[in-house]
Amino acid sequence: MNRYLVEYALNSLLRNKSKNIFIITIFTFLVFLITSVFFISNSIKYELNKTVDHLPQITIQKLQGGKVVNIDSDFANEVLQLTGVQDAVARVWGYYYFQNGGVNFTIMGIDNFENQYTNSLQKIVDDGSTKPFHSDMMVVGSGVEKILQDNFFDGYFNFILEDGTFKKVKVGGVFKSELELQSNDMILLSKDLAYEVLALSEDKATDIVVKVANPNELQTIVQKIQLLDPNTRVVTNEDYKVSYQNIFDYKSGFFLALFITTLFSFFIIIYDKVSGLSSVEKKEIGVLKALGWRVDDVLKEKFYESFILSGLSYILGVFLALFFVYILDAPLLRDIFEGYSVLKTSFNLPFVLDIQTLTLVFFITVPIYVASTIIPSWRASIKDADEVIR
Amino acid sequence: MNKKTDTLMWGLFTLMLLISVEMVYLSSTKSTYQEKELFVKTVGLPDLAISTESYFIRHRSLQDISSIFFDGPEHLEYFPSTFAINHNMEQK
Amino acid sequence: MIELKNITKQYEINKNNTITALKDINISIKSGTLTVLKGSSGSGKSTILSLIAALSRPTSGEVIVDKKQISKLPDNFASLYRRENIGFIFQKYNLIPNLSVQDNILVPLIPNNPDIKTIEDKLHSVMKKFNIFHKKDIEVQNLSGGEQQRVAIARGMINNPKIIIADEPTANLDEKLSLEFIQILKDLKGEGRTIVVATHDPLFFDLDFINDTIELKNGKVV
pLDDT single digits (tens) A166-207: 999 999 889 988 889 999 999 999 999 999 999 999 999 999
| Cα distance between residue A136 and residue A155, in whole Å | 13
DSSP state of A375: H
Give residue A55's pLDDT: 93
| Cα distance between residue A166 and residue A101, in whole Å | 17
DSSP state of C100: B
A11 touches chain C (CB under 8 A): yes
pLDDT single digits (tens) A118-142: 888 888 887 765 567 888 889 999 9
Average pLDDT, chain A: 89
Confidence of residue A333 (pLDDT cuts 50, 70, 90): confident
C110 contact partners, CB below 8 Å, separation of at least 6: A2, A4, A5, A8, A293, A297
Residue in A189, C76, A313 with CA at minimum distance from that of residue B42: A189
Q: What is the 3-state secondary structure (H, E, C) of A247-290?
A: CCCCCCHHHHHHHHHHHHHHHHHHHHHHCCCCHHHHHHHHHHHH
pTM of the model: 0.87
Average pLDDT, chain C: 89
Which of B 41-60 lie inside 8 A of A, CB atoms?
41-55, 57-60
Give residue B92's pLDDT: 46
Sign of CA dihedral B15, B20, B25, B29: positive
Across the interface, whether the CB atoms of A292 and C159 are under 8 A apart is answered yes
CB C141 within 8 A of CB C98: yes
Residue in B33, B78, B82, B77 with CA at minimum distance from that of residue B57: B82
pLDDT single digits (tens) A202-237: 999 999 999 999 989 899 999 999 999 999 999 999
How big is chain A, counted in residues? 390
Across the interface, whether the CB atoms of A176 and B60 are under 8 A apart is answered no
Give residue A296's pLDDT: 92
CA distances from B52 to A190, A194, A233, A247, B82 (A): 22, 19, 23, 15, 11
| Cα distance between residue A144 and residue A153, in whole Å | 11
Q: How far apart are the first and last CA of chain C?
A: 21
| Low-confidence spans in chain B with pLDDT less than 70 | 1, 65-81, 88-92
Across the interface, whether the CB atoms of A290 and C56 are under 8 A apart is answered no
Interface test with C, best of A2, A17, A19, A291 (most C CBs within 10 A): A291
- Residue C106: list chain A partners with CB under 8 A: 4
Extended strands (E) in A22-135: 58-64, 67-69, 71-72, 85-91, 93-98, 103-110
> Residue A297 pLDDT > 90, yes or no?
yes
Q: Which helix (H) or strand (E) holds A116?
A: helix A113-119
| Cα distance between residue B41 and residue B37, in whole Å | 6
> Residue A58 pLDDT > 90, yes or no?
yes
- Boundaries of every domain in chain A: 3-51+247-389, 58-235
How, if at all, do strands C194-199 and C220-221 pair? unpaired
Where is average pLDDT lowest: A239-248, A338-347, C102-111, C148-157?
A338-347
As a whole-number percent, the residues of chain A with pLDDT over 90 amount to 53
What would the mean pLDDT of C94-119 be, rounded to a whole number? 90
- Residue B50: list chain A partners with CB under 8 A: 44, 181, 337-338, 341, 345, 347
HSE (side-chain half, CA atoms, 13 Å) at A161: 14
| Cα distance between residue A2 and residue A7, in whole Å | 9
- Boundaries of every domain in chain B: 1-30, 31-92
Residue of B nearest to C119 (CA): B1
Which of B 24-43 lie inside 8 A of A, CB atoms?
26-27, 29-31, 33, 35-43
- Residue A68: list chain B partners with CB under 8 A: 63-64, 67
Q: Which helix (H) or strand (E) holds C23?
A: strand C18-29
pLDDT single digits (tens) A68-97: 889 999 999 999 999 999 999 999 999 999
- Compute how many other C-beta atoms are within 10 angstroms of the C-beta atom of residue A382: 14
Across the interface, whether the CB atoms of B52 and A343 are under 8 A apart is answered yes
Across the interface, whether the CB atoms of B23 and A322 are under 8 A apart is answered yes
Residue in A139, A142, A182 with CA at minimum distance from that of residue A50: A182
Tell me which residue range forms the domain holding C153.
Answer: 2-221
pLDDT single digits (tens) C58-74: 999 999 999 899 988 88
- Compute how many other C-beta atoms are within 10 angstroms of the C-beta atom of residue A226: 15
A211 touches chain C (CB under 8 A): no
- Residue A5: list chain C partners with CB under 8 A: 110-111, 113
- Residue C55: list chain A partners with CB under 8 A: 289-290, 384-386, 388-389
Interface test with A, best of C7, C41, C51, C55 (most A CBs within 10 A): C55
Radius of gyration for chain B, computed over Cα atoms and rounded to the nearest angstrom: 23
Q: In what order do the strands lie in the sheet with C2-12?
A: C18-29, C2-12, C60-65, C68-69
Residue in B39, B44, B42 with CA at minimum distance from that of residue A126: B39
Higher pLDDT, B30 or C45: C45
Residue in C62, C136, C67, C56 with CA at minimum distance from that of residue C100: C136
- Residue A284: list chain C partners with CB under 8 A: 96
Backbone angles phi, psi at C155, to 5 degrees: -60, -40
What would the mean pLDDT of A233-254 be, rounded to a whole number? 86
CA distances from A318 to A36, A37, A164, B27, C35 (A): 8, 11, 54, 16, 61
What would the mean pLDDT of A13-33 be, rounded to a whole number? 91
DSSP state of C17: -
Give residue A282's pLDDT: 87
Residue of C nearest to A281 (CA): C96
CA angle A257, A261, A264 (to 5 degrees): 140
CA distances from A172 to A118, A241, B43, B49 (A): 12, 33, 16, 21
Confidence of residue A259 (pLDDT cuts 50, 70, 90): confident
Backbone angles phi, psi at C42, to 5 degrees: 90, 0
Interface test with A, best of C12, C63, C73, C79 (most A CBs within 10 A): C79
Provide ipTM, 2 decimals: 0.90
A326 contact partners, CB below 8 Å, separation of at least 6: A39, A349, A351, B22, B26
CATH number of the structural domain spanning residue C159 = 3.40.50.300
DSSP state of C139: B
Cross-strand bridge partners of residue C164: C87, C195
- Residue C102: list chain B partners with CB under 8 A: 1
